[in-house]
Amino acid sequence: MVSFSQMQGVSAHVHSYYESPIGLLLVRGSERGISSVLFVEGEREDAGVYEILQPCMDQLHAYFSGSQHNFHSLPLAIQSTDFQLQVWEYLITIPYGETRTYSQVAAGIGHPKAVRAVGSAVGRNPLSLLIPCHRVVPVSGEVGEYAHGAWRKEWLLRHEHSVLGA
């Protein structure tokens, strides 16, 4: 299971970039764990190759090549509210290639009336792919919104379905 650590105090962060099939990912972390994986636009800043980020980079490569279905072995170090953490922990349980609605997530964490709050927590996820917020869809069954573009969300869902042969 994933190990979450709530970030406290100051820790030296490093960053690197991963070229994915759907855009550049900025990966940040420290000795505590990975703190963000976000799609970025524009020019990349200088970044090194850091040993503490290498497991994440390797697993991103495996995910996009179709040989990895989760990121449970990576330590994650994020800042969040207790509610956000509850939502993000639930998202990690959504199986590869499957989706859940915002209302299913709300019910799954024991707050069935907190659908909008769940949507807000999903939208604030700093660990794209590692916490699979792309697997949460509206009750209408449409792809819905995604902080990094609905086209990316659609690509990720199709990618997972094609890997599974669904």
* pLDDT per residue of the chain (166 residues) written in tens, 0 to 9: 444 454 455 568 899 999 999 999 999 999 999 999 999 997 777 777 799 999 999 999 999 999 999 999 999 999 999 999 999 999 999 999 999 999 999 999 999 999 999 999 999 999 999 999 999 999 998 888 888 999 999 999 999 999 888 6
Q: Is 7 left (phi over 0), alpha (psi -120 to 50) or beta?
A: beta
Single residue among 61, 76, 91 that ends a domain in this structure? 76
- Indicate the pTM of the whole model: 0.89
User: CATH code at 158?
Assistant: 1.10.10.10
66: which 2 tokens? 């179709």
Is residue 133 part of the annotated active site? The answer reads: yes
Residue type, 97: G
Asked whether residue 96 falls in the same domain as residue 32, the answer is no
Pick the last residue of a domain from 76, 93, 122: 76
Choice among 133, 136, 137, 157 that is catalytic: 133
Note whether 118 and 136 are same-domain residues.
Answer: yes
Q: What is the pLDDT of residue 4?
A: 47
Q: Using CA of residue 78, residue 163, residue 97, residue 141, what is the dihedral sign?
A: positive
pLDDT of residue 11: 66
Domain count along the chain: 2
CB 12, CB 30: distance < 8 Å: yes
Helices (H), the chain: 54-65, 82-92, 102-108, 115-123, 150-164
Which residues constitute the domain of residue 136? 80-164
Q: What is the pLDDT of residue 43?
A: 74
pLDDT at residue 7, rounded to an integer:
45
Q: Bridge-partner residues for 100, per DSSP? A: 136
- Are the C-beta atoms of 83 and 121 separated by less than 8 Å? yes
Determine the pLDDT at residue 142.
87
Binning the chain into helix, strand and coil, the percentages to the nearest 5 are 35, 20, 45
Domain match, 43 and 95 both = no
Tokens of 75: 């330590």
